[in-house]
A = this chain, B = another copy of it.
Amino acid sequence: MTDPTSPQELATKLDAASGAFERWSRIQPPDRAPVLEAIASALEEAAPKLVAIADEETSLGEARLRNEMVRTVFQLRLFAQAVTQGEYLGATIDHADPEWPMGPRPDLRRVLEPLGPVVVFSASNFPFAFSVAGGDTASALAAGCSVVVKAHSGHPRLSAATAEVVQHALASAGAPEGLFDVIFGTEAGRAAMADPRVKAGAFTGSIEAGRALFDIAAGRPEPVPFFGELGSVNPVFVTKAAAERRGPAIVSEFVGSFTLGAGQFCTKPGILLVPASAGLADLLPGAVPGEPLTLLNSRVRSSYASGLDELRNTAGVRVLVSGDPMAPTALHTTSAELLGNPEAYLREVFGPAALVVEYADEGELLDVAKILDGQLTATIQGEDDDEVAGELIGVLAAKAGRVLWNQWPTGVSVTYAQQHGGPYPATTAPATTSVGTEAISRFLRPVAYQNVPQHLLPPALRDANPMGIPQRVS
């Protein structure tokens, strides 16, 4: 059941996904809400069973897994709400206007419509929330797309069990057959991304794997969008005033954030820039727990070990805290060294490691900010009257999808204003987010209707507004 999907099986599933798209895309958005609700309820009901399987396949622990299930169910319900409200459709109506300054304007009406079948690549580190029934699946289904999920090799049995729950819920809710399916194996995933029936890809994972899939999506005879959330070091900039007033608290919160979930979050703060004068590096050894942590699986363990090793052996890096190879590790360097060879230091190490960078002058914070690659997040620990803050926020906003002030980047709330994205390599699609209600727009494209009679228009664009959604009129 979790064997690699054969090319024949894949073709059957993609045919079914295409057929289901034809039907699902024509179901009016509010009528998709009960189907999303049905998946949410089915997951809630199956939670004890699914959490138990997840606990066997990952080392995340039951408490975290239960919380992640809450997030997963919440996401589905939030998208059910979004399709009911219909604001995301961007319904815009320009009535005909013979006086329009550039010449008579026809009746033009635009609405967002679904892209087609989507392939979703699951992540290892969120077996529920960024996996089979996670945010990408929820937002694609809400948009009106059909979904084929490529299961992650780190939790195959959970993937199959979750898919069964979802499929059963879909069938009970009367959704078209083939609307949702799951496939296994790297080859099947690559083949799905290359397949002409597939109209978009969504991915959360490493830069290497994400870039390979992006290249497939962009290299097709018909290129399609690929929404990849790849890598980020999520730097934290501590101003002098903040370090002086709150140094020990900042160190302890930083440790909490970079070791949370054994450092296996996309938003783990991997770099902390602190003023050398405040001596915060000396507080790290006392703040970092020495016990080894359990990483997700053997692949993550070995890549953590080798990434850490490389960083340790970079000129100028000294080890602040190190015990067992799998224990949280803090390393140290200076901003002068970092600025001399940024690529060596500004690399994501997936796992509980972080680099503390000491600077002499606050201007160095700007120097480091300016050479950053794209980031999911960038954080300032500062004081309201910090002189450097205004310019630093401006530079960081050009580099990151989310800029934080006196909070920590781990813990990505699912809300309307959330932005989980950023310039490459944080993502392959910096204009989009993979968390929050705006994630739905990845799977939509605008269509304008010109001079179309009322009864032939999509309901969202009719003057009578039968769905009661927000319409922007002329």
The answer to whether B71 touches A389 (Cβ under 8 A) is no
In the complex, whether A12 has a CB less than 8 A from a CB of chain B is no
In the complex, whether A401 has a CB less than 8 A from a CB of chain B is yes
Set B219, B405, B428, B448: member contacting A456, Cβ < 8 A:
B405
The answer to whether B431 touches A100 (Cβ under 8 A) is no
The answer to whether B218 touches A417 (Cβ under 8 A) is no
In Å, the complex CA distance between A6 and B464 comes to 58
Residues of B within 8 A of A75 (CB): 102
In Å, the complex CA distance between A67 and B449 comes to 25
Residues of B within 8 A of A402 (CB): 447-450
In the complex, whether A264 has a CB less than 8 A from a CB of chain B is no
Given A431-B225, A451-B404: A108 and B446 interface contact (C-beta under 8 Å): no
> Which has the most chain B C-beta neighbours within 10 Å: A219, A433, A447?
A447
Residues of B within 8 A of A102 (CB): 70-71, 74-75, 413-414
In Å, the complex CA distance between A397 and B460 comes to 14
In the complex, whether A291 has a CB less than 8 A from a CB of chain B is no
The answer to whether A423 touches B445 (Cβ under 8 A) is yes
User: 0/1 per residue, A413-446, Cβ < 8 Å to B?
Assistant: 1111111010111001111010000100100111
Q: How far is the CB of A374 from chain B (nearest CB, A)?
A: 8
- The total of chain A residues at the interface (CB under 8 A) is 82
**Residue of chain B at shortest CB distance from A446:** B419
Given A74-B101, A222-B424: A417 and B93 interface contact (C-beta under 8 Å): yes
In Å, the complex CA distance between A414 and B108 comes to 10
> Which has the most chain B C-beta neighbours within 10 Å: A71, A224, A390, A452?
A452
In the complex, whether A453 has a CB less than 8 A from a CB of chain B is yes
In Å, the complex CA distance between A108 and B414 comes to 10
The answer to whether A105 touches B419 (Cβ under 8 A) is no
Residues of B within 8 A of A224 (CB): 424
The answer to whether B110 touches A393 (Cβ under 8 A) is no
Residues of B within 8 A of A219 (CB): 215, 218
In the complex, whether A32 has a CB less than 8 A from a CB of chain B is no
Residues of B within 8 A of A428 (CB): 223
Q: How far is the CB of A462 from chain B (nearest CB, A)?
A: 13
Residues of B within 8 A of A407 (CB): 106, 450-451
Q: List 28 A-B contacts (CB under 8 A).
A: A71-B103, A74-B101, A92-B417, A93-B417, A94-B415, A94-B418, A100-B415, A105-B415, A108-B418, A110-B418, A116-B398, A222-B373, A223-B424, A225-B429, A225-B431, A393-B449, A401-B445, A401-B447, A402-B448, A402-B450, A403-B448, A403-B449, A405-B452, A405-B453, A407-B450, A417-B448, A418-B448, A419-B447
10 further contact pairs, Cβ within 8 A, besides A108-B413, A110-B438:
A25-B398, A94-B416, A106-B407, A113-B398, A403-B450, A406-B451, A419-B446, A421-B445, A421-B446, A431-B446
